[in-house]
């Protein structure tokens, strides 16, 4: 139980990667505050964690607002006595090339994907300082490293997370607060499956994507969760200000 006695907040925890992150941290002993705007699937995530004998609380909140983040931290302190880890995972996507991205689309994506993480850190860091240290984990993306022409705003926000991670690592290292990003490629989530199912030949589309990855498969949400457990635990006590790329070798390729 590598996270026994630790308290973690996971945002975007209702489904997909976020649900796996919450379950993974709880399975290793953390008390988890699972946060999302999607109340019903969030409650299902927490119920599944509790049925396995682990500890979690659901909290419906909009993390693009300061009050949502403050309330989540206050809940963690009130229910579990403190805060050791923030996994800032909540994100949205809007498909558009740069010149076709409206101001409203840009603002919507950045309010959640970048500003929401800043607001989460702003709420969490003072409590981590009082706790004597902690771990900030940002779910970035390979699209914060390389480009997708149809996800301009999303890529810009994820690249911003990588820069903000380094700033936080430098500023709060003296307080024993570490900050790292996780950068996944494609992940087998509900949204990914919906994309596959819309293809004229879903099986062929899945094969087309799988062969892009040297490991020959699309990541499972649990693949991402295992990295978060590592970064939240003392096993990564001397790792800060860096990216953990989880892409099955995708970025190692030239063509």
Question: Which residues are 138's β-sheet partners?
Answer: 88, 181
**Measured distance CA(220)–CA(186) in Å, rounded:** 9
Torsion sign over Cα 126, 240, 57, 41:
positive
HSE-CB at 193 with a 13 A cutoff on CA atoms is: 7
The yes-or-no answer on residue 175 being catalytic is no
Q: In what order do the strands lie in the sheet with 31-36?
A: 56-60, 31-36, 7-11, 85-88, 134-139, 177-184, 243-246
Strands of 6-152, DSSP E: 7-11, 31-36, 56-60, 85-88, 134-139
- Of 80, 118, 154, 238, which residue is the catalytic one? 154
Answer yes or no: are the C-beta atoms of 79 and 33 closer than 8 Å. yes
Answer yes or no: are the C-beta atoms of 218 and 193 closer than 8 Å. no
- What are φ and ψ of residue 207, in 5° steps? -60, -40
User: CA Rg, the chain, in Å?
Assistant: 18
Per the structure block, which two tokens stand in for 38? 């999607």
Q: How many CB atoms lie within 10 A of CB 204?
A: 10
Name the residues annotated as catalytic.
Answer: 154
């Amino acid at each position: 139980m590598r996270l026994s006695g630790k308290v973690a907040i996971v945002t975007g925890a209702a489904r997909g990667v976020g649900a796996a992150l919450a379950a993974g941290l709880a399975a290793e002993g953390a008390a988890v505050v699972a946060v999302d705007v999607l109340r019903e699937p969030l409650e299902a995530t927490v119920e599944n964690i509790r049925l396995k004998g682990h500890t979690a609380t659901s909290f419906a909140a909009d993390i693009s607002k300061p009050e949502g983040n403050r309330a989540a931290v206050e809940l963690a302190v009130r229910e579990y006595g403190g805060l050791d880890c923030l996994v800032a995972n909540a994100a949205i996507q809007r498909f558009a090339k740069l010149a076709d991205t409206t101001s409203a689309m840009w603002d919507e994506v950045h309010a959640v994907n970048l500003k929401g993480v800043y607001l989460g850190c702003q709420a969490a860091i003072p409590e981590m300082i009082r706790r004597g240290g902690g771990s900030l984990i940002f779910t970035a993306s390979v699209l914060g490293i390389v480009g997708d022409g149809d996800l301009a705003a999303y890529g810009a926000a994820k690249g911003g997370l990588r820069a903000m991670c380094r700033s936080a690592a430098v500023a709060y290292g003296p307080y024993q607060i570490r900050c790292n990003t996780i950068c996944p490629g494609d992940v087998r989530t509900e949204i990914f499956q919906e994309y596959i199912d819309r293809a004229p030949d879903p099986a062929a589309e899945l094969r087309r994507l799988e062969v892009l990855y040297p490991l020959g498969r699309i990541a499972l949400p649990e693949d991402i969760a295992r990295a978060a457990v590592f970064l939240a635990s003392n096993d990564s006590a001397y790792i800060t200000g860096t990216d953990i790329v989880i892409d099955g070798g995708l970025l190692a390729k030239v063509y």
